Amino acid sequence: MSKVVKTLREAIELAGLKDGMTVSFHHHLRNGDFVLNMVMEQIAALGIKDLTVNASSLFDAHTPLLEHIKNHVVTKILTDYMSAGLGHEISRGVMEKPVEFRTHGGRPADIALGRTPIDVAFIAAPTADSEGNCTGKLGKSACGSLGYAFADAKYAKKTVIITDNLLDGTLSEPSISGEDVDYVVAVDAIGDPNGIVSGTTKITRDPVGLIMAQTAVKVIEASGLLRDGFSFQTGAGGASLAAAMYLKNVMLAKGVCGSFGLGGITGYMVDMLREGCFRSLLDVQCFDLKAVESIRDDPRHREISGARYASPWEKDAAVNDLDVVILGATEVDTDFNVNVHTDSNGFIMGGSGGHSDTAAGAKIAMIIAPIMRARLPIVTDRVGCISTPGSTIDVLVTQKGVAVNPARTDLRERLKAAGIPVRSIEELKQIAEKITGVPKKPPKGDRVVGEVYYRDGTLLDSIYNVPV
């Protein structure tokens, strides 16, 4: 019996979707994704209500969700990241039930454990065959890795593949195997290729960012971890990418051959692989076209699942073997807690993604951030939302010096010995406040609009509505 059905509507009906169930989506098509919106539109047209949406991330492309929230088609959201367009409305209180935020490791863990069961998974697949074998590496909407969708396909009661490149024959090297797939639907386009590879994947030219990146690499050199077998992850932010560029030069000059580069992969990490800085790349998500080409053509560039990447219960989760991860922050407090969920006014504009997973696993979790953004100091007494616990953060790198977590006296001594300007985190706060003045705390509402679950499933913090 063929799994191919003619329309999305038919697939939704065949999958038996009913009021109160849970549907899931993955975010490898990023802000270029069409699939979540087209599925939700059909669900709404069928009159199904009271659904839970479990999406690995939500972008501004998904703002039509607001209409489905208003009409009670969607009454609950679980996600690892929510960009500002949607986040602002959630913060204003448009949903009755709080959004549950998880991490990229916690999400597949909770799906596997049955804590967050999925009734129907809708998986956008750039290429698929009629059996439902699919891959992100081929097709006009190629996005590379499909890592975050593995848990959805495996554990959902029904799995629907939506593709804009349905092969006649059999796909020889699928990422997701047809054995987990119930239905396959062909559509004209699953996404906009420009949005799929969009994002902050350009190296900064801001001198402050470059100074921070250079300091970050000095910290890595001084840490003693930069030797053969070194493993590394960095984000796609401008300063993080600049750090990767400087790090590459140091590794090549010293002849260091690392073991693996991890994470969301950019072209800069691909360059490091090609030039011999790493033996492999472990890729849960591709950020740009160069990464997509590399994962398709280079067998050393391997696709991994979200669980293999970061699940707290996975024995060989890659984050546990990380030497250094470079991360960003909207705020850091004097206990080294990091906020990546809310902005300075308390509006939701992000989420953990793999932030707290990698921080927990890596030997050195490094935050790179300027001491102030416009007039707002980066270091506060208490962050507006704890996304990553300070106990897992080792060092904060700014353009005015480096603060080491007091628990890491070993690291502090190493950095001092290398001549790196080490200051206390309170000092960095004071330096900024001398320039900016002391900011008043914006008022919080009294209703919880978001709950932040740590990777082990415990409630880490709550996000309150913003009174407007």
Partner 1 sequence: MKIVKKATAGTLESGDVYVELSPSDSGNEIELQSAVLLQFGDAIRESAQDVLRQFEVENAKLKLIDQGALDCVIRARIETAVLRGKEA
Q: Is 442 in the site for partner 1 (CB under 8 A)?
A: yes
Report, in Å, the least distance between residue 373 CB and partner 1.
7
Q: Is 381 in the site for partner 1 (CB under 8 A)?
A: no
Q: Is 92 in the site for partner 1 (CB under 8 A)?
A: no
Q: With respect to partner 1, which residue has the nearer C-beta, 253 or 374?
A: 374
Q: With respect to partner 1, which residue has the nearer C-beta, 421 or 442?
A: 442
Report, in Å, the least distance between residue 334 CB and partner 1.
18
Q: How is residue 460 written in tokens?
A: 């880490």
Q: With respect to partner 1, which residue has the nearer C-beta, 188 or 446?
A: 446
Report, in Å, the least distance between residue 380 CB and partner 1.
11
Report, in Å, the least distance between residue 441 CB and partner 1.
8
Instruction: Select from 71, 170, 249, 345 the one that contacts partner 1 (CB under 8 A).
Output: 345
Q: Is 70 in the site for partner 1 (CB under 8 A)?
A: no
Q: Is 468 in the site for partner 1 (CB under 8 A)?
A: no
C-beta contacts of 422-431 below 8 A and 24+ residues apart: 425/332, 425/334, 425/336, 425/379, 425/396, 426/334, 426/379, 427/401, 427/403, 428/371, 428/378, 428/379, 428/396, 428/398, 428/400, 428/401, 428/403, 429/334, 429/377, 429/379, 429/380, 431/371, 431/400, 431/401
Residue 245: Cβ-neighbour burial (10 angstroms; 0-12, 13-18, 19+): middle
Q: How is residue 217 written in tokens?
A: 């690499």
Q: Which of residues 107-136 bind partner 1 (CB under 8 A)?
A: none
Q: Which of residues 350-379 bind partner 1 (CB under 8 A)?
A: 373-376
Instruction: Select from 45, 113, 189, 435 the one that contacts partner 1 (CB under 8 A).
Output: 435
Report, in Å, the least distance between residue 402 CB and partner 1.
24
Q: Is 71 in the site for partner 1 (CB under 8 A)?
A: no
Q: Is 434 in the site for partner 1 (CB under 8 A)?
A: no
Per DSSP, the three-state class of 188 is coil
Of 306, 384, 264, 284, residue with least CA distance to 103? 306
Q: What DSSP string describes 340-404? A: -SB-TTS-B----TTHHHHHHHSSEEEEE--SEETTEESEESS-SS-SB-GGG--EEEETTEEEE
Beta bridge partner(s), residue 397: 368, 402
Q: With respect to partner 1, which residue has the nearer C-beta, 189 or 438?
A: 438
Binding pattern to partner 1, positions 290-329, x when CB under 8 A?
Answer: ----------------------------------------
Q: With respect to partner 1, which residue has the nearer C-beta, 122 or 347?
A: 347
Q: By the 8 A CB rule, do 232 and 261 touch?
A: yes
Distance between alpha carbon 167 and the CA centroid of its chain, in Å? Answer: 30
Report the distance separating Cα 194 and Cα 159, nearest Å: 27
Q: Is 344 in the site for partner 1 (CB under 8 A)?
A: yes
Q: With respect to partner 1, which residue has the nearer C-beta, 343 or 357?
A: 343
Q: Is 391 in the site for partner 1 (CB under 8 A)?
A: no
Q: Is 1 in the site for partner 1 (CB under 8 A)?
A: no
